[in-house]
Structure 1
């Protein structure tokens, strides 16, 4: 099969704020790619999550991409939520309040390996004091 007829390698993501059980809207993210473990990172796309927590405009990956990194800018998202979270923390004396910056993790960088012609869906489960990711479908 020639590379011209091969399916493009693609990436999609979404974010769920598990502290409120809702999608995280308005989180800026950057998609970077490299070829080989020692290759230099190149910014390949950027976007923001929509009302459903999804970023739908990430471009197909360039041929030869072996690694992908998605950088999520979580600080601005949590800063916008800081007041309501701190109010909840005061009501629950054992719950920690957010720091002045609005986020314990001001950014989240996820790096993963890819194979040509596959689609990679990488959801981010996020809360003010932790996160997890997995390969979705």
Structure 2
């Protein structure tokens, strides 16, 4: 299992956000991994273990809403976080066309 997982829930429709493009990089912009959410809105990215440091996970949210014909404010959401140890990281987002929230999951 990758060190990092995510889950995207479309809070406006109450359904998983399938096909959200994902890009994991260091804060210096060095690419680490790319992917997309599955039918359940979930994805695993990166290696088995990320080195300690700061990373950014970018969610391409605008395309999700555009495909559904829903106007939205955020073309993408970037979440920057620190890896301090080897514990599993789960970075979910609750998404709507005009808002989002995130937290450190387990």
Q: Is TM more than 0.5 here?
A: yes
1:115 aligns with 2:103: no
Unaligned runs of 5+ in 1: 1-8, 35-39, 86-97
Structure 2 equivalent of residue 106 of structure 1: 75
Which of 26, 32, 54 is the aligned partner of 1:67?
54
Count of residues in Structure 1 that have an aligned counterpart in Structure 2: 105
Provide the TM-score with structure 2 as the length reference: 0.90
CA drift at 1:11: 1.1
Structure 1 equivalent of residue 11 of structure 2: 18
The structure whose residues are more often helix, as a share, is 1
CA drift at 1:115: 1.0
Q: Which has the larger radius of gyration?
A: 1
Unaligned runs of 5+ in 2: none
CA RMSD of aligned residues (A): 1.6
The structure whose residues are more often strand, as a share, is 2
Secondary structure of the 2:68 match is helix
